[in-house]
Amino acid sequence: MSYSVSNITLSADCDVLLTSAGKEKADLEFKKLSEERLTNRYATTSVEVDAVLQGVLVELSAVDTIISVLPDGPTKDDEIKKKVKLEYKKFLLENRKESYGAVALLEKQMDLARVVRELDEVNAFITIITDHKATL
């Protein structure tokens, strides 16, 4: 971006701008670190959730098959209870997938990219002001 630094005629004004930009840079660097950590956590979690969910789906299919061939009785009742627990686990994993899955990961990656761009712009601003201050 083009900044109208020619309007700044005092070194003290440059110092004020540099102090403000320095604070903004520190805030953005912290935010970048936080976003990097979140992005890494989302990447790891999304893979784990998908793997566990696939295992639960396979197990549910197997339990359905077992239930269909068992005669009524305590063994079949136990398998039906197991199926209910697996369906609940599937429900929880699907909800977690929404929060930490591939879509959430992409959103976090976008947030990180946005912070990096803001940080680049603040660094460019600091360079411009520093260079202008040197000419005063």
How does pLDDT run across 26-79, given as a tens digit for each residue?
A: 999 999 999 999 999 888 888 888 899 999 999 999 999 999 999 999 999 999
Q: Which of the 8 DSSP states describes residue 7? A: G
pLDDT higher than 90, residue 123: yes
Domain residue ranges in the chain: 9-135
Per the CB < 8 A criterion, the answer to whether 93 and 46 are in contact is no
**Closest by CA position to 49, among listed 85, 109, 83, 91:** 91
Q: How far apart are CA 19 and CA 130, in angstroms?
A: 11
Per-residue pLDDT of 63-77, as tens digits, reads 999 999 999 999 999
Q: How far apart are CA 96 and CA 93, in angstroms?
A: 5
Neighbours of 6 (CB within 10 A): 8
Task: Give pTM, 2 decimals.
Answer: 0.71
pLDDT at position 97:
83
Report the percentage of the chain scoring pLDDT > 90: 80
Confidence label for 24 from pLDDT (cuts 50, 70 and 90): very high
